[in-house]
Structure 1
Amino acid sequence: MKRIGAIVCLAALIVTMTASVCFGVQSLKLVESYPEDGQKSTSIENMGVKLTFNSDIGDEKSAKANAKCFSITDDKGHKLPIRVFYDPKNSKKMMVLADAVKIAANKDLRIKDNVKYTLHISGDLTDNEGNTLGADQEISFTTLNQSQNTKVYMIMMVIMFGGMFFFTSRQAKKQMAKQDAENGVKEEPFNPYKEAKKTGKSVEEVMAAHEKEMARKAAKAAKKAKAQSDDEDDDYEDDNGNYKVKKPRPISAGGSNYVTGRKALAEARIAEEERLAKRRAANSKKKKKK
């Protein structure tokens, strides 16, 4: 019985070890990528893909083994020169970048707008423990359509400036209408039939009342304009550039309500002189009587 138990334990141990080895071979997995598969409007500058795995990768042995496990191709299958970087602070992260130096030296390899690129990852990719990815994987992404973005930007600018022009013109028209209303009489559109229906009067009565009201407003405006003209005529400028007035006017005519007190002082002085004169006259009469 002891021998049978030992054999069973040994067999179980062998099966467990075999299963762990098999599990270890297939344990390397891609956890996430940036950009993600199918992402659009990716940047052209420093184009590349960040990869995160579930186990450590990138030591000297695995980096050497994985040197040919990555490639980036365009929509026509042309390969771009690439560089592979491993993150020294996080051994589960790495980056595959398009080699900007080599691409700049070859115009045919220039990264284009609105083009689909694909990162290919070989299933032979190995982590630091010797575990492999097991199956090939691809991550596709499309670069930014710069020309379309420029058009959208220009359209937005046109709409913005158009709105600014519309509101500015509207404000200017309101200001001009306000000035016209202040400076003169502006006859508003008048519909006698509508007014007659509204008031219950005849069209003739409505027209007569309207003409009378407009004549009153015109007379008022003419009177105001004449007063302003007279004020302007009272003042003139001589040949020497000196500004003069034809007659003295109170300070209130200029719009000021400031009171200096000179008039009150002058009146008080005159009253005092009259009082003294009367007193002297009375004293003179008394002396003559004596």
Structure 2
Amino acid sequence: MKRSGRIVGLTLLIVMLATMFSFGAETFRITNTEPKNGAENTTKDNMCVKVFFNKPVGNDRSKAANKDAFRITNESGKEFPTRIIYSSKNSKYALIIIDTTKVAQTGKGAIQDNTKYTCTISGDFRANDGEKLGKDTKITFKTMNQKVYTIGYTVMMFLMFGGMMVFSTTQMKKKDEEKKDEELIHEKTFNPYKEAKKTGKSVEQVLKEHDAELEKARKKEAKKNRRRGISPEDTEDRRHGNAYRVSRPRPIREAGSTFRTGRKAQYEAKAAEEAAKRAELKATNYGKNPKAKKK
């Protein structure tokens, strides 16, 4: 009885340990792919699929076992020649790429735009320790519609340049209007009779239209000056000529100030010193060649 209990206990211990190790061991699987399954607008140039695993791959034994464990096909099931590249820096990464040396670059046999392709990784794909994936994995992706992309890019460029042209034209028109309004406001004389004769309108109509344009221009100027922080009084002074230009800067003593900077005295002393030097040089004929004596 005692011996039987020991056997039962040992059996239970072995079962528990086996269960623990079976739960602790991680099964071989794919952790990520680029592009992902269902991706769109992928490039057709150098088509490839990056595959990331949770276990190392790419030793000599797994390379030999995995050489035919993947393929890339199009919508109609046509298979393209592929090869796999393993990374020496990341042992859990592999690159499945179409062999462009064996694929036509143009025509029906080439990689097409706006077409679905499927990369299938077999369930027999092995890790370095010999474990298999267990089931097939498919990554489906769709290539970019290059024609639509090109048209969209062209339209975008057209809109951008068109917007720039419209903006430039609007700014030029705005400046012309501002210049015209300024000339209208500051116009000293207006001959309604001459304008009436030129346009064929009556003098009263010409005056009415001129007053309306003048009022509109003044409102625009007032609005612009408010944005710039210019008061109506300053605007009125400038319009009626109450702002003057001076012919020269005036010294503060002319306004009654007694402050002296001393710059004038310094300038006069320096000028006197230079004049004395010039007089001395002139008296000694310094720098002049003596005239040759006549024989």
Q: Establish whether TM, by shorter chain, passes 0.5.
A: yes
Give the match for residue 8 of structure 2: 8
Give the match for residue 166 of structure 2: 166
Give, in whole Å, the separation in 1 of the partners of 2:210 and 2:26.
Answer: 98
Q: TM-score, normalised by structure 1?
A: 0.59
- Which segment is superposed worse, 30-39 or 164-173? 164-173
Give, in whole Å, the separation in 1 of the partners of 2:160 and 2:150.
Answer: 15
How far does residue 211 in structure 1 lie from its aligned partner after superposition?
2.8
Contact 1:26–1:134, Cα closer than 8 Å, also in 2: no
Structure 1 pair 55/167, CA: closer, same or farther in 2 (3 Å)?
A: same
Structure 2 unaligned regions, length at least 5: 193-202, 214-244, 250-295
Contact 2:69–2:125, Cα closer than 8 Å, also in 1: yes
1:114-159 Cα distance to aligned partner (Å, 9 max, x none): 1111011111111122211111111101111111111111111111
Structure 1 unaligned regions, length at least 5: 188-206, 218-254, 260-290
CA RMSD of aligned residues (A): 3.8
Give the match for residue 66 of structure 2: 66
Structure 1 pair 124/213, CA: closer, same or farther in 2 (3 Å)?
A: closer
How far does residue 10 in structure 1 lie from its aligned partner after superposition?
5.4
**1:114-125 equivalent positions in 2, closer than 5 A:** 114-125=114-125
- Which segment is superposed worse, 105-114 or 129-138? 105-114
Give, in whole Å, the separation in 2 of the partners of 1:12 and 1:144.
Answer: 60
Contact 2:104–2:110, Cα closer than 8 Å, also in 1: yes
Give, in whole Å, the separation in 1 of the partners of 2:11 and 2:101.
Answer: 58
**1:111-260 equivalent positions in 2, closer than 5 A:** 111-181=111-181, 182=183, 211=207, 214=210, 257=247
- Which segment is superposed worse, 165-174 or 117-126? 165-174
**1:96-115 equivalent positions in 2, closer than 5 A:** 96-104=96-104, 107-115=107-115
Secondary structure, in 3 states, of the residue corresponding to 1:109? Answer: coil
Secondary structure, in 3 states, of the residue corresponding to 1:31? Answer: strand
Give, in whole Å, the separation in 1 of the partners of 2:165 and 2:48.
Answer: 44
Give the match for residue 50 of structure 1: 50
Contact 1:26–1:131, Cα closer than 8 Å, also in 2: no
- The structure having more radius of gyration, on CA atoms, is 1
Secondary structure, in 3 states, of the residue corresponding to 2:103? Answer: helix
Number of matched pairs = 203
Q: TM-score, normalised by structure 2?
A: 0.58
Identity across matched positions, percent = 37
How far does residue 45 in structure 1 lie from its aligned partner after superposition?
2.1
Structure 1 pair 186/142, CA: closer, same or farther in 2 (3 Å)?
A: farther
How far does residue 78 in structure 1 lie from its aligned partner after superposition?
0.6
Letter in 2 for 1:127: A
Letter in 1 for 2:207: E
Contact 1:25–1:132, Cα closer than 8 Å, also in 2: no
Contact 2:124–2:134, Cα closer than 8 Å, also in 1: yes
Give the match for residue 89 of structure 2: 89
Contact 1:53–1:93, Cα closer than 8 Å, also in 2: yes
Structure 1 pair 107/147, CA: closer, same or farther in 2 (3 Å)?
A: closer
Give the match for residue 268 of structure 1: none
How far does residue 11 in structure 1 lie from its aligned partner after superposition?
3.8
Contact 1:25–1:131, Cα closer than 8 Å, also in 2: no
Letter in 1 for 2:160: M
Secondary structure, in 3 states, of the residue corresponding to 1:162? Answer: helix
